[in-house]
């Protein structure tokens, strides 16, 4: 599945309409965010995670979505189940994101 670009305008509706969601929060100036983008896209296409929606949110431009994820550093990943945040962490290692994804399986 492709990574969905989300903003404050549609963030809540994505969470409401999808049971399992992982969000990558980024900023345009964040080098680690840019480096992780291909890994995040690859994970979104992994058959193991076919029932999880992957979203990208620019943390600097989307204050409401940033607060919903409790972002404290970038890149930051948050997992939501049935619209509720269940975990999140700042990470730049794929293993950390895979651990978060396991919480949704």
* Catalytic center residues: 30, 33
Please report which confidence band the pLDDT of residue 104 belongs to, taking 50, 70 and 90 as the band edges. Answer: very high
* Strand ranges inside 17-98, DSSP E: 20-26, 53-58, 76-81, 84-90
Cα–Cα distance for residue pair 36/24, rounded to 1 Å: 9
In this structure, what token pair is assigned to residue 96?
């950390």
Give me the pLDDT at residue 78, please.
98
The whole-number pLDDT of residue 21 equals: 98
Q: What pLDDT is stored for residue 1 in this prediction?
A: 75
Structure confidence at residue 98 (pLDDT): 97
The pTM score is 0.96
Domain ranges (residues) in the chain:
4-102
Q: What pLDDT, in 10s, does the model give residues 44-90?
A: 999 999 999 999 999 999 999 999 999 999 999 999 999 999 999 99
Average pLDDT over residues 9-37: 97
Distance CA 10, CA 85 (A): 16
What whole-number percentage of the chain has pLDDT above 70? Answer: 100
| Nearest-angstrom CA–CA distance, 24 and 104 | 15
In this structure, which topology does domain 4-102 adopt according to CATH? Answer: Glutaredoxin (3.40.30)
Q: How crowded is residue 19: how many other Cβ atoms within 10 Å of its Cβ? A: 13
């Amino acid at each position: 599945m492709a990574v969905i670009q989300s903003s404050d305008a549609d963030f809540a509706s994505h969470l409401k309409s999808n049971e399992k969601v992982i969000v990558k929060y980024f900023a345009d100036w964040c080098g680690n965010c840019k480096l992780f983008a291909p890994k995040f896209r690859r994970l979104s296409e992994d058959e193991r995670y076919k029932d999880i929606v992957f979203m990208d949110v620019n943390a600097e431009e989307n204050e409401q979505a940033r607060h919903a994820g409790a972002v404290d550093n970038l890149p930051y990943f948050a997992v939501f189940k049935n619209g509720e945040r269940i975990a999140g962490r700042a990470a730049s290692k794929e293993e950390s994101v895979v651990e978060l994804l396991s919480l949704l399986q």
